[in-house]
Amino acid sequence: MIILVLNCGSSSAKYQVYDWDAKEVLAVGVVEKVTIAGSWIEHKPKGKPEFTLKKDCPNHTDAVNLIIQTLTDKEHGVISDMGAIKAVGHRVVQGGEKFTKSVVITPEVLKTIADIKDLAPLHNPANIMGIEAAQKVLPNVPHCAIMDTAWHQTMMPEQFLYAVPSDWYEKYAVRRYGFHGTSFLYVSKRASVLLGKQPKDTNLIIAHIGNGASINAVKNGCSFDTSMGITPLEGLVMGTRSGDMDPALPFYVARKAGIKYEEMENWLNKKSGLLGLTGQFSDRRDINEAAGKGDKQAQQAQDMEAYRLRKYIGAYYAALEGNVDALIFTAGVGEFAGFMRTKFCKGLEKLGFVLDEEKNNLARTRNCESLISADNSPLPIYVIPTDEELVMTEDAFALLNGTYDIHTKFAYSFQKKDYVNKARAAGLEKDLAKNPALKKIIALPK
């Protein structure tokens, strides 16, 4: 059985093809510059050379068609025909309060996602376009919505409400929703395995640090608090998003500079964060290089990002009343940027998190889960590569078979002690051949 998962943004369409019976990924890829001139597809099939093709995709239907054509291509494809695809899982960023778990997409579900698009104006419209495009191309298979916000629906009112007029919640759905839920779900379940505990007995602080970044306090295996709010703008310093600030700041600058609402929203989401602080960089690798050459703005940007995250780690340690089993880093920066993990962990020793610099510097792979804390650290620090696509795949399969339920009542394959990701296991063998020292940091289940 083949399951396709799609993650459609405003100008991109990412995909993964998974063979459920063989339990392995057949292909991953992305169509870039959808709706923009100069589109192309990057296709990475298992056991075949990577493939790139330039082809204009004026809309998402064209992009999904290009994906299907590539997947079924005789030379570069991985399936014989579209009939092999039995279900499609779609990432949906904002599900509001309506959805506490993944669902099969019906006209009513799609309408609800559309009705709350104002809560995620940069994401939900693109998600909807991707769903509608895929339904046109694959009309006879179930399509499933996997909501980023569903994971956080276990938060209590004291965590998700804002101190604003109470009727705003009733009238306008004003509350904290949180995002990156699919990633937090995967990482929290894997952390429980590594710790040798049941999810219901596990308390964690998880930092998902990519271009977008958020942090999650997990209590008894469920989301307890998170840094992103009603939109993904709140919280940590991000690649291009401002994160936390005085709410009056945009009004002040708008009055001074004569900036309209839409322009201000664009500045805060796309021109702030690390890009705004440095004036030119949003990628941490570029910032690190510039900082190493003495660029004061780059150095300050690094210090601000690290300081903001450390504050949240301390706050969530307090929110969990000191009952924390592990600190975890995930996503692109969390998984690869050892120099930033060093900054993030500075001064956390009194909370029980002692980083081992040698181990930390070795942890630069998606092919294993790494333990980067010192041997004498009271609490472990892990790097756990996320796998949102696998969560989407398993949710879609379970929905197709009628076995799915909310995550506290549902067991994923990766919750098993003997779970193996075949692609990552093969990649780890190559990594170890190049650098045998990696063996020191491989985290194994207790």
394 and 401 Cβ atoms separated by less than 8 Å? no
* Beta-carbon count within 10 A of 22 CB: 12
Give every CB contact of residue 442 below 8 A, 6+ residues apart in sequence: 368, 369, 370, 371, 428
146 and 391 Cβ atoms separated by less than 8 Å? yes
Q: Count Cβ atoms within 10 A of the Cβ of residue 162 and give its class: 0-12 exposed, 13-18 middle, 19 or more buried.
A: middle
How does DSSP assign 10-51, residue by residue? Answer: SSEEEEEEEETTTTEEEEEEEEESTTSSS-EEEEEETTS--E
Cα 415 to Cα 401: distance, rounded to the nearest angstrom? 19
Tokens of 390: 């696998």
Backbone angles phi, psi at 152, to 5 degrees: -90, 5
Q: What is the dihedral sign for C-alpha 268, 271, 274, 279?
A: negative
Instruction: Pick the catalytic residue from 62, 148, 295, 387.
Output: 148
Tokens of 210: 């990519």
Q: Where are the beta strands (DSSP E) in 164-276?
A: 204-209, 213-219, 222-226
Count Cβ neighbours within 10 Å for each residue of 320-346 and write b for 16 or more, e otherwise.
beeebbbbbbbbbbbbbbbbbbebbbe
Cα 338 to Cα 180: distance, rounded to the nearest angstrom? 21
Rounded to a whole number of angstroms, the distance between the first and last alpha carbons of the chain is 33
DSSP three-state, residue 256: helix
Backbone angles phi, psi at 337, to 5 degrees: -90, 80
273 and 301 Cβ atoms separated by less than 8 Å? no
- Please identify which residue in the block is written with the tokens 């996320």: 386
Give every CB contact of residue 439 below 8 A, 6+ residues apart in sequence: 432
Count Cβ neighbours within 10 Å for each residue of 64-98 and write b for 16 or more, e otherwise.
bbbbbbbbbeeebbbbeebebbbbbbbbbbbbbeb
73 is catalytic: no
Give every CB contact of residue 435 below 8 A, 6+ residues apart in sequence: 362
List the catalytic residues.
Answer: 148
